[in-house]
Amino acid sequence: MRNMKIIDNFGFREIAVEALTGSHNYNLHTPTSDEDYKYFVVPTFEDLYGGKFFSSSMQSDLVDYTCHDIRQLSNLIWKANINFIEVLFSTQLWYTRGLEFLFENAEKWVGMNLPASRNATYGMHLQKMGDLHKGTEKTQGLVNTFGYDTKQACHALRCLYVLEKYGKSESMKEALWFNDGKKRDTLLEVKAGKYTEAEFLDIVEHWHTHVWGELSKNYNDTRANNELKEELDSLMLEFVKSRFSS
């Protein structure tokens, strides 16, 4: 494990998953990008008895992390938020023995609820678009300089590109990673403030005009696979039970 101070914050809970996420995991990082990690931990007996789900988070200039109970992961995958889906395809991934079923079949789990994937990813796009002028502690300077939060704009456009790339490839691993090319260049240019807000909005409008209609229909034509969700839940249950077996 990389950071013992982070691990100390998890109490006596066993770490089940450690995954690099964020811009470093998309090939969209810059020299000033911090590293983002997601952790999932095995519940303690006290957590199980009390019906509690541990969570923890931290932000700093060098590293950000969030930590969740491993029991939540199957539902997070089912809801298809790409901030959690990307854990399955992390370029720096560690997981404990017994979770092979999760990562060796990652594309299968991602594909089990495509309508939710479309809705969640597009919903995140809309959320980021709504935050273009709000600014955060880390991005208010961008709003002051460029008139809008170029980092949020990059995230908003990335959501659209991920939808498009997955729709064409049916591979979330390929969809999340941006190789050198026009889409990656555009995202990095947006992030760096190379476009005015009006120019950025034109890029988004162009995508909607030329891509969104057919793409949205294809996502909605696919039904959620409840049997796969039950299979994933069962496998996760067996994993948690195994941590308490003698």
What total of structural domains would you count in the chain?
Answer: 2
Residue found by looking up tokens 């555009």 in the block: 186
CATH number, domain containing residue 234: 3.30.460.10
Phi and psi at residue 32, in whole multiples of 5°?
A: -95, 0
* Residues 30 and 58 placed together within one structural domain of the fold: yes
CA 228 vs CA 72, 105, 159, 231: distances in Å: 16, 11, 25, 5
83-100 mean pLDDT: 96
Average pLDDT, the chain: 92
pLDDT tens, position by position, 206-233:
999 999 988 888 887 889 999 999 999 9
Which residues are CB-contacts of 33 (< 8 A; sequence separation ≥ 6)?
22, 23, 24
Q: Give the span between the Cα atoms of 22 and 38, in whole angstroms.
A: 10
Are both 167 and 229 inside the same structural domain?
no
Q: 89 is in which domain, residue-wise?
A: 4-109+225-242
Same domain, 45 and 60: yes
Same domain, 84 and 56: yes
72 and 166 housed in the same domain: no
Residue 200: closest CA among 234, 167, 156, 236: 156
Confidence band for 6, pLDDT divided at 50, 70 and 90 = low
**Cα separation of 41 and 55, whole Å?**
9
